[in-house]
Amino acid sequence: MHIENSIITTIFKGISFSTEETYLIESKLEKIQLNKGIQLLEAGETVVHQYYVQKGCLRTYYVDISGKEHTLQFAIKDWWISDYTAFFSGDKAILNIESIQDTTLYKISKKNMDDLFFEIPKLETFFRKKMERSFASFQKRILSNLAESAKERYVSFVRTYPNIEQRVKNYHIASYLGITTESLSRIRKVLAHH
C-alpha cells in the first residue's frame, strides 16, 4: 500500500520525517472509506485501533441500561477517535462509534503505534501532546457539566464543533448536552431572538 506523503504531513503537522520514517509510518496506517450510518465499533468489542478522520464525521456514544444513547464526542476532519479507555487498558469497549456522514479514515493499531514510538520517538511526543489537549477538553467538559446551564453548554458545543450543526441530527446534539430535543429547540429559539 502506498499513501501519498501529503497525508503523513497532514496527520503529523509540524514534524519532519526522513524518507525511511515516512515509509515506516505509511506501512503502519490503513485507509478506510465508510458510508454514512456504518457502525465502526460496538460496545463489548476489543479495541485494537484508533482512527484519524481525514474527512466526514463520526460519533462516539454510550447506550445506558435503559437503552438511552449518550453522545460522548463527535470527530470531524483532523480529529483522532477511539474508545480510548478500552484502547489503552485492553478492556472491552463501552462506547459505540458510528459514521454520521460518508467518512475517510486512517486507522492504526496499538501494536503498530508502540512499534512506531520505539522506532521514531518524536511520534511518542506528538501523541503525548495530542493526549494532553484531549485531556484538557475533557476537563473543560466536566466543569461545564457541573457549572454551566444547558444554554451555556450549547454555546460551548457550537464553539467546539463549528459548522457541525448542519451535519448531525438534533437528538445527537441533545444527547451530547444531556438534555431533551425539546429543550434544545427552546434554547435555539431563545438564542435566535438575542
If one asks whether residue 133 binds a copy of itself (CB under 8 A), the answer comes out as yes
Question: How many angstroms separate the CA atoms of 48 and 107, rounded?
Answer: 10
Of 4 and 132, CB closest to a copy of itself: 132
The region of 16-24, 126-134, 160-168, 183-191 touching a copy of itself under the rule CB under 8 A is 126-134
121 grid coordinates:
520517538
The interface with a copy of itself within residues 60-99 (CB under 8 A) comprises 62, 64, 68, 70, 72, 84-85, 88-89, 94
The interface with a copy of itself within residues 3-42 (CB under 8 A) comprises none
Binder of a copy of itself out of 13, 16, 18, 132 (CB under 8 A): 132
Of 52 and 176, CB closest to a copy of itself: 176
Sequence-distant (6+) residues with CB within 8 A of 112 are 28, 29
Size of the site for a copy of itself (CB under 8 A): 35
Question: How many angstroms separate the CA atoms of 163 and 101, rounded?
Answer: 14
What are the angstrom distances between the C-alpha of 122 and each of 39, 116, 125, 145? 33, 9, 5, 35
Interaction site with a copy of itself (CB under 8 A): 62, 64, 68, 70, 72, 84-85, 88-89, 94, 117, 121, 124-125, 127-129, 131-136, 138-143, 145-148, 175, 178
